Amino acid sequence: MTERTKVILLNTPHNPTGHVFGREELQQIADVALRHDLVVITDEVYEHLTFDGREHTPIAMLPGMRERSILISSGGKTFATTGWKVGWVCASPDLVTAVTTVKQFLTFVGPAPMQRGIAAGLRLPDTRIAEIRDSLQRQRDVLVEALEVTGMRVHVPEGGYFIVADVGPLGVTSAIDFCRKLPERVGVAAVPMTVFYRDATGVETLVRFAFSKRVEVLEEAASRLAALGTSI
Ligand SMILES: Cc1ncc(COP(=O)(O)O)c(C=O)c1O
């Protein structure tokens, strides 16, 4: 925060950590926004993909925040249509006008055929959305177990598509090196967490794995990862 701060960017449920911000955490951020007259721009693309009964709360729902929030979401994650690039913005009319004014000079128009597909998705009953969430939770559980078996220290995510695991316990000192070699070693790809940080101190041995895959694919990954101990 400086004198020039105008906006807070908030992503919840969070990629890459899988954290779902709770009410108290959101209230702390809202307090700052209210005190300093800031707009909060939120990325809530994983809004429906929360696990173990955890609820996603848009910060716009907190008192005084509706007028100063720009809620952005997308069909990309809920409907497994990453790449379709169809999303939406919820905000007060003046903020929506600001967004459409800028967008006009960026991507200009949306992909109309994909919009029809996402519109069909948005008409699905809540029960179908719950099924999508529950099957993703099962996928998470398969990959969490597979990673734990290897001896990695696994952070179980509360939402989203990703698991962060510490490969330090495997004797690895660089997640970047580890991720470079992993596809060759066992045919599994992952992303070093260092790429998400300006200062990567403290995350040198953390790796992000995706579980947005069919269970058969995750099970195959599990059996390949099990061979990891012998290939290091
Ligand atoms: C937090 C977050 N926001 C936005 C996106 C992109 O969403 P879309 O494909 O709808 O642009 C992603 C996808 O990786 C994401 O993880």
- Identify whether 128 is part of a domain: no
**Domain residues for 30?**
7-122
Category of 148 on φ-ψ map: left (φ > 0), alpha (ψ -120 to 50) or beta: alpha
Residues 45 and 108 in one domain: yes
CATH number, position 80: 3.40.640.10
Residues 118 and 161 in one domain: no
- Pick the closest to residue 76 from 126, 40, 110, 125 (CA basis): 110
What are the tens digits of pLDDT across the range 152-206? 999 999 999 999 999 999 999 999 999 999 999 999 999 999 999 999 999 999 9
- Identify whether 2 is part of a domain: no
The total number of structural domains in the chain stands at: 2
Residues 15 and 86 in one domain: yes
What is the Å distance from ligand 1's center to 192 Cα?
A: 18
Residues 161 and 227 in one domain: yes
What are the tens digits of pLDDT across the range 7-48? 999 999 999 999 999 999 999 999 999 999 999 999 999 999
Report the side by side order of strands in the sheet with 162-166: 153-155, 162-166, 206-210, 191-192
Quote the tokens at residue 85: 């690039």
- Identify whether 1 is part of a domain: no
* Ligand 1 atom 5 nearest Cα: 45
Task: Tell me the residue type at 78.
Answer: T
**Atom of ligand 1 lying closest to residue 14 CA:** 1
Residues 118 and 153 in one domain: no
What are the tens digits of pLDDT across the range 46-76? 999 999 999 999 999 999 999 999 999 999 9
Last residue of a domain, which of 58, 89, 122?
122
Residues 44 and 113 in one domain: yes
**Atom of ligand 1 lying closest to residue 84 CA:** 9
